Amino acid sequence: LKGPFLKASEIIKNIEANGHQAYFVGGCVRDLLLGHPIGDVDITTSAPPTVVQKIFDDVIPVGIEHGTVIVRHENESYEITTFRVEGQYSDHRHPDSVEFIDQIDKDLERRDFTINALAMDLNGQIMDLFAGKADLQAKVIRTVGDGDTRFVEDPLRIIRALRFSSQLGFSIEEETLKAIDRVKPKIQTIAIERITTEFNKLVQGNYVNNGIHYLKRMRIDHYLPVFSDNKGLIEKLPNNLKPLESIAELFALLHYVDPSIDVHTWFKAWKCSNRVRKEANDLSNAIFNFSRNGINLWLVYQLPVEYHARFIRLVSILLPNKFISMDQMEAYTHRLPIRSKRELEINGNDLIALHPTLPKGPWIQKLLNQIEYLVVMGKLENNRTKLKEWIKWNPPEIN
Ligand code: ATP
Ligand code: MG
């Protein structure tokens, strides 16, 4: 054992010393066998959550009723889940009931796909009850057990199948695909937040076009918010996607290919954070500005620096023959006369003082915005005297 497994093995040893079984499980074992970088190391154990709480000093009881706690160990977090079997998912969010058990077999059986149902002990011995290793080798995503049953139990697994196809570049096995086709209307019953979480991972996948291919081919979009009211929209999405940074980029792309659906509609229906809304808005404004005017100072001024790489990626996807580089973005950034409105050498109070006869009103903000634009674009110098002069000769329109 090495890397992240070495550190995590201390946790397993500790649980074993207390008379319980514990294994590495799920994504970390899958990624180890694939030779991919390891994300989170998850652990599954026969110890009930209350026992795990007693064994370790630093425990966060995130989902104790479902058997999950987080153990903090040497600045890392480990999700430790007690072996369990699940009841129905009638709220389509959590199983109604879980039963803790002391055999790992049944715990692996409740997991979604064979490649995710692998466990590994301290000696590196792999437990593979559903031929997950063979499926890793064959690069296929296949449900553990009967597809229809498993997808009806939790239809989110359909979205997860697409997500893994996007992350791993795997195909979805034929019987699993047929089950997806039969059960897909039930996607509409799942809480949108769960779908959004999986979609965020889907758009980040190294094989994102593979995931989108299945989305289109299986017509999963018909059961997703906004897409379901705009059948055919998905076909407008370019086929040359690149791994995106977040779902906000996808919304910006979608707004560009169908401007009749605004960013707000996407962000609301998919219950995203305000951060996502701002990012999607900034990116789509930039891409529209760019498509009309090419690169310009106003575009660079309005786009936060941390979005530059995302913007370039969107250009390369949507406008592939209008190449733009990070160096160009940087050069424009250096040329900016100001970085924000605060750096203007005049402010609202100056405008009021220069037009003492005008009643206060929206003209102040409007005029300030106009001056900001002209300064950024280099049409007006950011010099207090010169700005005042300009203001004198350009009285605001009041109506
Ligand atoms: P990642 O590397 O993205 O975290 P992961 O495989 O660890 O991938 P998670 O969503 O973190 O995926 O889930 C951890 C494990 O829990 C999965 O590998 C799978 O065994 C199981 N699992 C998660 N969600 C479900 C679900 N909806 N139905 C059945 N099993 C699930
Ligand atoms: Mg995980």
Tell me the CATH number at 373.
1.10.246.80
CA–CA distance, 17 with 284 (Å, rounded to integer): 56
Which amino acid is located at 169 in the chain? G
The answer as to whether 148 is a domain residue is yes
- pLDDT at position 250: 97
The answer as to whether 284 is a domain residue is yes
Task: Specify the length of the chain in residues.
Answer: 399
- pLDDT at position 307: 97
CB 337 within 8 A of CB 382: yes
Residues 147 and 134 in one domain: no
The answer as to whether 103 is a domain residue is yes
Sign of CA dihedral 390, 393, 394, 399: positive
Q: Indicate which ligand has the atom closest to the C-alpha of 68.
A: 1
CA–CA distance, 199 with 159 (Å, rounded to integer): 8
Domain that holds residue 259: 242-336
Q: Which structure tokens are listed for 88?
A: 């129905």
* CA 80 – ligand 1 centroid, Å: 13
- Asked if the model's pLDDT at residue 378 lies above 70, the reply is yes
42-45 and 76-82: which strand pairing? Answer: parallel
> Which residue, judged by its Cα, is nearest atom 5 of ligand 1?
27
Beta strands in 93-151 (DSSP E): 98-100, 119-120, 126-127, 140-141
* CA 29 – ligand 1 centroid, Å: 11
Q: Kindly report the CATH number assigned to the domain that includes residue 83.
A: 3.30.460.10
Of 224, 254, 285, which closes a domain?
224
Please return the burial class of 239, using the count of CB atoms within 10 Å of its CB with bins 0-12, 13-18 and 19+: exposed
Coil vs helix vs strand at 384: helix
CA–CA distance, 8 with 43 (Å, rounded to integer): 9
- pLDDT at position 90: 74
Of 109, 138, 167, which closes a domain?
138
Q: Left (φ > 0), alpha (ψ -120 to 50) or beta: where does 42 sit? A: beta
Residues 46 and 95 in one domain: yes
> Which residue, judged by its Cα, is nearest atom 4 of ligand 1?
27
- pLDDT at position 399: 66
Average pLDDT taken over every residue of the chain:
95
Residues 113 and 36 in one domain: yes
Residues 131 and 60 in one domain: yes
The answer as to whether 119 is a domain residue is yes
The answer as to whether 144 is a domain residue is yes
Beta strands in 53-130 (DSSP E): 59-63, 68-73, 76-82, 84-86, 98-100, 119-120, 126-127
CA–CA distance, 215 with 334 (Å, rounded to integer): 42
CA–CA distance, 256 with 318 (Å, rounded to integer): 8
Could you give the number of structural domains in the chain?
4
Per the annotation, does 63 bind a ligand? Answer: no
The answer as to whether 236 is a domain residue is no
pLDDT digits (tens, 9 = 90+) for 259-271: 999 999 999 999 9
Residues 52 and 118 in one domain: yes
Per the annotation, does 67 bind a ligand? Answer: no
Residues 29 and 41 in one domain: yes
> Which residue, judged by its Cα, is nearest atom 12 of ligand 1?
27
Residues 6 and 113 in one domain: yes
Nearest to 239 by CA among 264, 208, 206, 204: 208
High-pLDDT (> 70) share of the chain, %: 99
Coil vs helix vs strand at 309: helix
Q: Kindly report the CATH number assigned to the domain that includes residue 181.
A: 1.10.110.30
Q: Kindly provide the ipTM of the predicted complex, given to two decimals.
A: 0.98
Per the annotation, does 154 bind a ligand? Answer: yes
CB 180 within 8 A of CB 161: yes
Residues 90 and 8 in one domain: yes
Q: Ligand 1 pocket check: which of 30, 112, 153, 195 to mutate, most ligand atoms within 8 Å of Cβ?
A: 112
Residues 309 and 375 in one domain: no
Residues 107 and 31 in one domain: yes
Mean pLDDT of 141-161: 97
Of 138, 173, 190, which closes a domain?
138
CA–CA distance, 26 with 77 (Å, rounded to integer): 16
The answer as to whether 398 is a domain residue is no
CA–CA distance, 282 with 102 (Å, rounded to integer): 51
pLDDT digits (tens, 9 = 90+) for 305-348: 999 999 999 999 999 999 899 999 999 999 999 999 999 999 99
Per the annotation, does 111 bind a ligand? Answer: yes
Widest CA span of the chain, in angstroms? Answer: 85
Residues 326 and 352 in one domain: no
Name 126's Cβ contacts closer than 8 Å, sequence gap at least 6.
29, 33, 118, 119, 120, 133
Name 388's Cβ contacts closer than 8 Å, sequence gap at least 6.
346, 350, 354
Residues 266 and 347 in one domain: no
Q: Which residues line ligand 1 (CB under 6 A)?
A: 26-27, 39-40, 42, 111-112, 116-117, 154, 156-157, 201
Q: Which residues are placed with Cβ below 5 angstroms of ligand 2, an ion?
A: 27, 40
The answer as to whether 71 is a domain residue is yes
* CA 271 – ligand 2 centroid, Å: 22
Per the annotation, does 313 bind a ligand? Answer: no
Beta bridge partners of 23: 44
